[in-house]
Amino acid sequence: MKCWVTCVVVGVSFFSVTCFGAKEKTLRFQNTVRMGYDDNIYNSDSEKGSGFITDIVNITSKFNFSTRTDGLIYWQPEFQYRFDADPEFISYQDIYAKLNHAWSSRVFITLADRFRYQLKDGQTGGGLGGPASDNQNYFENDLNGAIDYTINSSSTFKLGGAYLFRVWDEKSYGKGTANNDFEEFTASGTYIRDINPNKTDLVLGLNLADLEYSGSRGGYDSITGLIGVDQIFNPESVGFVRAGLSAVSSDNRGVSDDSTSPYLSCGLDYKPSARTSLNGMIGYSNRRSDNSIFSVQDQFSITLGGRHDITAKINLASTISFIHSQYDAISTIPDAKDDYFTFNLRSSYQINRNNFVELGYRFRSRSADSILKSEWDGNRIDAGWRLRL
């Protein structure tokens, strides 16, 4: 990770300093305070429970420099006190900045950078697959750039690139025997053809990825060719589908392997009424591993979401997701699999223009086989107050 400090400083400083030159600025502030109880605060089979108080601040600024250039900065720190956990106080950060520029009537440029300091996700914990329960945090930075070129009224070409790195708090998990710190370079080219004006777009794409873990864990190179369709069925329904094939060359702790795997991604957004919206997504791909034993994994995922405004002031939102991961055998380590399920439900009531109260519930469950050695579930409930200015 020789250049992560440079990326963070240059990326965030560039966007922050540039915004002083904006001609028009808008600022939105939101503060959410929640109190609740989590019966598995570490997301592990220890099933340690704790009450908590969390404060989430969100500050979003939009800037217009000219009719051709605009930008956005998003900052969301989170502070949490846990009564029966170690450490008791934790904090997270999420900083995002984006700059858009119309170079000409045909060329559009986007530059974005996201820095995060957060808790691990559900699939990296437990047994041989994750860090100690009291230190599960990491920071990562994702720098992206893209150029859109309009060929003619019905054709567009997009060229993009990104650099992503992740560093874990726990040194032995990041750079020790597990070697989970990584950096990843990606590049993509996409051709979009309007084959049915304002309804159907044909998409052809080529994606490249190069990932390297720290130490002796290895990494992989992949190339994915895909074809897809974006479809507007009617004003209430919009969908997409992508299908293709990935060729992967991996090095998993000194064991090399070349393989191919299918790629699939499809989704649908549906708004049956002014008060109700639904969305769903299905995906299958070969990607970086969520588990420290392996370098790559085949992942199948399903996500469903919905929102309904019961009245003008009361709304209900829910998401359900399921992720199944399959890991190929290496050396003396056999095949492995990992299932992770989450369910979220949240309701809010608008007291007045600026104040809201809310209730939330989250259930998550992880089941992994004997190699990964992890099986747990957890429930979390909270009540909160949100101020929006």
Give dist(CA 39, CA 378) in Å, integer.
Answer: 6
Q: How many CB atoms lie within 10 A of CB 321?
A: 17
Radius of gyration of the chain (CA): 22
CA 173, 176, 177, 180 dihedral sign is positive
pLDDT digits (tens, 9 = 90+) for 272-296: 999 999 999 999 999 988 877 888 9
Give dist(CA 298, CA 304) in Å, integer.
Answer: 20
Contacts of 19 (CB under 8 A, 6+ apart): 25, 61, 63, 71, 73
**82 or 16: which leads in pLDDT:** 82
Q: Are 305 and 321 in contact (CB under 8 A)?
A: no
Q: How many CB atoms lie within 10 A of CB 72?
A: 17
pLDDT band at 125 (very low <50, low <70, confident <90, very high): low
Q: Are 73 and 97 in contact (CB under 8 A)?
A: yes
Give dist(CA 175, CA 141) in Å, integer.
Answer: 17
The confidence score (pLDDT) of residue 25 equals 78
Domains (ranges, CATH) in the chain? 4-388 (2.40.160)
Contacts of 5 (CB under 8 A, 6+ apart): none
The confidence score (pLDDT) of residue 294 equals 85
Highest mean pLDDT, choosing among 18-27, 126-135, 138-147, 175-184? 138-147
In our burial notation (b when 16+ CB lie closer than 10 A, e otherwise), range 251-263 reads bbbeeebeeebeb
Short-list 205, 117, 209, CA closest to 162: 209
The confidence score (pLDDT) of residue 351 equals 97
Is the model's pLDDT at 18 over the cut of 70?
no
Q: How many CB atoms lie within 10 A of CB 221?
A: 16
pLDDT digits (tens, 9 = 90+) for 172-230: 788 877 788 999 999 999 999 999 988 999 999 999 999 999 888 889 999 999 999 99
pLDDT digits (tens, 9 = 90+) for 291-344: 778 889 999 999 999 999 999 999 999 999 999 999 988 877 888 899 999 999
The confidence score (pLDDT) of residue 115 equals 96
Give ∠ CA 311-312-314 in degrees, rounded to 5: 55
Short-list 365, 375, 371, CA closest to 337: 371
Is the model's pLDDT at 369 over the cut of 90?
no
Residues in the chain: 389
What percent of the chain is modeled with pLDDT above 90? Answer: 69
First to last CA, the chain: 39
The confidence score (pLDDT) of residue 174 equals 82
Tell me the β-bridge partners of 273.
276
pTM: 0.89
Contacts of 259 (CB under 8 A, 6+ apart): 247, 248, 250, 286, 328
Residue 55, token pair as written in the block: 């404060």
The confidence score (pLDDT) of residue 10 equals 47
**22 or 276: which leads in pLDDT:** 276
The confidence score (pLDDT) of residue 126 equals 55
Short-list 187, 186, 167, CA closest to 178: 167
Residue 127 Ramachandran class (φ > 0 left, ψ -120 to 50 alpha, else beta):
left
Q: How many CB atoms lie within 10 A of CB 214?
A: 19
Within the chain, residue ranges assigned H as helices are: 4-18, 171-174
Mean pLDDT of the chain: 89
The confidence score (pLDDT) of residue 23 equals 65
What percent of the chain is modeled with pLDDT above 70? Answer: 90
